[in-house]
Amino acid sequence: MDNLVIGGRQIVNRLFLGTGKFSSYDLIPDVIGSSGAQVVTVALRRVDPGTASENMLAYVPDNCIVMPNTSGARTADEAIQIARLARAMGCGNWIKIEVISDNKYLLPDNEETICATRTLAAEGFVVLPYMNPDLTAARKMLDCGAAAVMPLGSPIGSNRGLKTRELVQIMIDELAAPVIVDAGLGKPSDAAEAMEMGAAAVLVNTAIATAEDPVLMAGAFSLAVKAGRMAYLAGLGGESALARASSPLTGFLF
Amino acid sequence: MRIVLNGKETCWPEETEMLTFIRNCGFNQERVVVQHNGRILTREEWTGVSVQEDDRIDVLQFVGGG
């Protein structure tokens, strides 16, 4: 079995799903079903009194791992508080640390993320930090107890694909821990590319949620992730600058 | 009396047990988490803590997010 193990959990499906931006929560069960996702992210927000707000967890099957994020946190302390609040909801101890102070590109603050990782891992959280792809920062996060690291492919919600390819490849090559590409993957081929490179998983939200048919797109991403993983395990053939004939160079008719 | 609920100044008639406060505000108690003056309350504490003058209360729930 080629399962991914994080926080003691066996994960068969290497497509992690974000649940933001869907036009209706009603879509989410079908999207989860179509994607096969086992790990599902959610956010924590204030709720206005007296509003008929929906319980989004009612749309997530019980066998999914709920991974709250700390979106809205600008510092390690804020991320830590959001993580503790999320755990108090009683849906497990996984946390995606997200510390962002840059409102234009929503790039994460690796230094604050390292600090939050240290505290939350010590408190028993299964910590998956969203990060700028940086080998040294990733090593520090793992030393602090991160269960995996999640470098961005391109800015959140941009659908621009794996613009950080070289740096992510270095992380995959050098780190023993799972590297999960999070953010910016816009097409199934982007997800396949990350998986072919050896990423342990990918986390996709916007590309699925904003597709014309999110359920169909979730299935497409699932297939791409599986294909990319199989290709990685199979071992990609080498590249060359010049052509190398596929047919025998002997026995020509002419 | 004055309290700050989810960052907004709010008038509340009297000192109230947190559980009653949550119910009276219309929150679904099964799906929210409560922070009282910066401290996260367990559900068990909702019956032992009162909302008082100048308290800061945050009530949060999970929503879709990436």
Could you give all domains of chain B from N- to C-terminal order, each with its CATH number?
A: 2-60 (3.10.20.30)
**pLDDT of amino acid A216:** 98
Active site residues of A: 96
Write out pLDDT tens, residues A17-52. 999 999 999 999 999 999 999 999 999 999 988 776
Both tokens assigned to A160: 């621009």
**pLDDT of amino acid B31:** 87
Asked if the structure places residue A132 within a domain, the reply is yes
Asked if the structure places residue A21 within a domain, the reply is yes
Euclidean distance between CA atoms A146 and A114, whole angstroms: 9
> Which residue in chain B has the smallest CA separation from A209?
B66
Asked if the structure places residue A242 within a domain, the reply is no
Residues B2-10 have a mean pLDDT of 94
- CATH number of domain containing A134: 3.20.20.70
**pLDDT of amino acid A91:** 87
**pLDDT of amino acid A52:** 62
> Which residues make Cβ contacts (< 8 Å) with residue A87, sequence separation at least 6?
A93, A95, A125
Asked if the structure places residue A250 within a domain, the reply is no
Long-range contacts of A74-81 (CB under 8 A, 24+ apart): A74/A99, A74/A100, A74/A101, A74/A109, A74/A112, A75/A99, A75/A101, A75/A112, A76/A112, A76/A113, A76/A115, A76/A116, A76/A119, A79/A112, A79/A113, A79/A116, A79/A120, A80/A116, A80/A119, A80/A120, A81/B40
**Three-class secondary structure of residue A152 per DSSP:** strand
**pLDDT of amino acid A214:** 98
Asked whether the predicted pLDDT for residue B30 surpasses 80, the reply is yes
**Among B45, B44, B40, B6, residue whose Cα is nearest residue B26:** B6
Based on the structure, what is the number of domains in chain A? 1
B63 to chain A: which residues are within 8 Å by CB? 20, 42-45, 53, 56
> Which residue in chain A has the smallest CA separation from B62?
A44
Domain encompassing residue A221: 4-234
Write out pLDDT tens, residues A60-109. 999 999 999 999 999 999 999 999 999 999 889 999 999 998 889 999 99
Asked whether the predicted pLDDT for residue A180 surpasses 70, the reply is yes
Asked if the structure places residue A252 within a domain, the reply is no
Q: What residue spans of chain B are helical by DSSP H?
A: 18-24
Asked if the structure places residue A48 within a domain, the reply is yes
Asked if the structure places residue A244 within a domain, the reply is no
**pLDDT of amino acid B55:** 96
Asked if the structure places residue A243 within a domain, the reply is no
ipTM (interface predicted TM): 0.91
Place of tokens 């492919």: A153
**pLDDT of amino acid A50:** 72
Strand residue runs (E) in A153-234: 180-182, 201-204
Mean confidence (pLDDT) of chain A: 95
Residues of B with CB under 8 A from a CB of A: 5-7, 25-28, 30-33, 35, 40-42, 58-66
> Which residues make Cβ contacts (< 8 Å) with residue A149, sequence separation at least 6?
A128, A129, A131, A138, A141, A142, A171, A175, A177, A178, A179, A180
